[in-house]
């Protein structure tokens, strides 16, 4: 009886071993399985839009922050000076504009004066010519009057040219180039001053915080990261033989290394339809690699999997980058039962390794 028991037990173990071995060999074709999966969350990179010395750090690493909260500030003194300088330049441009307006008014009055002088010079020439015909004046008087007319006409033309010059430089205050340039410089300085207050643009958890008050930070340098805990997905790489089952909305079993003994349910959200060809990038010449292996490594296909049933307390245990094993459902009761059993065994094995 004891021998029969051990015999049945041995046959059962061998049968289960052979069954799972066959399943693993055929898994890529009937129920794709991979251990190459990792959790991702939306991560916002926080970098200052201006350079400066860090004045205060308002958050701690691992702290939950809301959109609009101040993360850290830069010393704003130099930017305040630039704002003051830009305001002074704008005031100077406006004063110059007003002065040119006054100059234009003066030039118009001068034009009226020159017109009167030219009119008087012409009238005097006419009178002198009439007197000359009666012998009451000299040729010299006529020549002097003609010269006065020429001088008056030249002065009149100069006055008109001066008005045209001033009008060309003026336009109205909304289109005057100098004023608009000064306004743009002021707006830029004020924006830089605002950027000394670095605020969160989204909710998230502060991570990789390495800021120190008094340190200098350059524009665009990554200061910290904000991890959005409310949005997560898995990137899983499967052998391409199983592409038939890697379709949108197909369900998957997921076992996280960080949560041994638990299996979660998810579904395929999308499938990447291209991979980077490192041997032929940017239209360069192909770099042919000689491979003497008879069986080459299989191509991987990346899919995005969304978790369906992760509770908040479980989600807190998963960091961005957490590793996982994934098995995709086949649709067959038997194969899915084997797949479900296998992923549970993998999950339990995580207690050991």
Looking at residue 106, its pLDDT comes to: 73
> Taking the domains of the chain in order of start, what are their residue ranges?
25-41+230-277+299-349, 52-75+196-217, 79-185
Residue with tokens 């033989």: 241
In CATH, 25-41+230-277+299-349 is 2.40.30.170:
yes
Angle between helices 333-349 and 2-30 (to 10 degrees): 100
Q: How many CA atoms lie within 13 A of 91 on its CB side?
A: 6
- Would you write out the chain's pLDDT as a tens digit for each of its 353 residues? 566 766 777 777 787 777 767 766 666 778 888 999 999 988 889 999 999 999 999 999 989 999 999 999 999 898 999 999 989 988 888 888 777 777 777 777 877 787 787 788 777 777 777 776 777 777 777 777 777 778 777 877 877 777 677 666 666 555 577 788 888 898 999 999 999 999 998 888 999 888 889 899 999 899 999 998 878 899 999 988 888 888 888 999 999 998 998 999 999 999 888 777 666 666 666 666 666 666 677 788 899 999 887 777 777 788 888 999 999 988 888 888 888 888 888 898 888 87
Whether CATH 3.30.379 fits 79-185: no
User: And the tokens for 10?
Assistant: 């041995």
- The DSSP code for 245 is G
Instruction: Please tell me the predicted confidence (pLDDT) of residue 81.
Output: 93
Predicted pLDDT of residue 239: 87
The β-bridge partners of 304 are 235, 270
Q: What per-residue confidence (pLDDT) applies to 196?
A: 92
pLDDT value of residue 61: 92
Provide CB contacts within 8 A for 279, sequence distance 6+: 286, 287, 288, 289
CB 100 within 8 A of CB 166: yes
Q: Does the predicted TM-score (pTM) go above 0.85?
A: no
What digits encode the pLDDT tens for the residues 22-62?
766 666 778 888 999 999 988 889 999 999 999 999 999 98
CATH class, 52-75+196-217 region? mainly beta
């Amino acid at each position: 009886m004891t021998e029969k028991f051990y015999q049945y037990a041995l046959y059962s173990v061998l049968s289960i071993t052979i069954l799972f071995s066959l399943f693993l060999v055929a898994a890529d074709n009937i129920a794709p399985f991979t251990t190459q999966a990792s959790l991702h969350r939306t991560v916002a990179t926080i970098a200052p839009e201006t350079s400066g010395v860090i004045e205060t750090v308002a958050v701690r690493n691992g702290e939950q922050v809301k959109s609009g909260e101040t993360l850290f500030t830069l010393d704003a003194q130099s930017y305040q000076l630039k704002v003051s300088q830009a305001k002074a330049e704008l005031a100077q441009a406006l004063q110059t504009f007003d002065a040119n307006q006054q100059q234009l008014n003066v030039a118009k009055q001068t034009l009226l004066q020159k017109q009167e002088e030219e009119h008087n010079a012409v009238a005097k020439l006419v009178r002198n010519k009439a007197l000359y015909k009666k012998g009451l004046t000299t040729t010299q008087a006529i020549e002097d009057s003609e010269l006065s007319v020429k001088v008056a006409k030249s002065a009149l033309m100069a006055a008109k040219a001066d008005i045209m010059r001033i009008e060309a430089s003026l336009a109205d205050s909304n289109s005057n180039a100098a004023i608009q340039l000064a306004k743009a410089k002021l707006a830029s300085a004020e924006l830089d001053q605002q950027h000394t207050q670095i605020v969160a643009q989204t909710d998230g958890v502060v991570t990789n915080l390495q800021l120190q008050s008094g340190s200098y930070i350059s524009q665009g340098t990554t200061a910290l990261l904000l991890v959005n805990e409310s949005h997560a997905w898995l990137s899983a790489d499967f052998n391409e033989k199983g592409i038939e089952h890697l379709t949108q909305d197909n369900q998957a079993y997921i076992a996280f290394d960080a949560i041994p003994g638990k299996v979660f349910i998810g579904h395929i959200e999308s499938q990447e339809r291209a991979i980077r060809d490192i041997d032929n990038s940017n239209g360069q010449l192909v770099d042919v690699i000689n491979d003497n292996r008879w069986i080459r490594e299989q191509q991987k296909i990346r899919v995005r999997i969304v978790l369906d049933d992760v509770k908040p307390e479980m989600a807190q245990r998963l960091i961005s980058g957490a590793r996982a094993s994934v098995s995709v459902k086949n649709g067959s009761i038997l194969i899915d039962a084997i797949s479900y059993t296998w992923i549970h065994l993998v999950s339990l094995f995580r207690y050991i390794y």
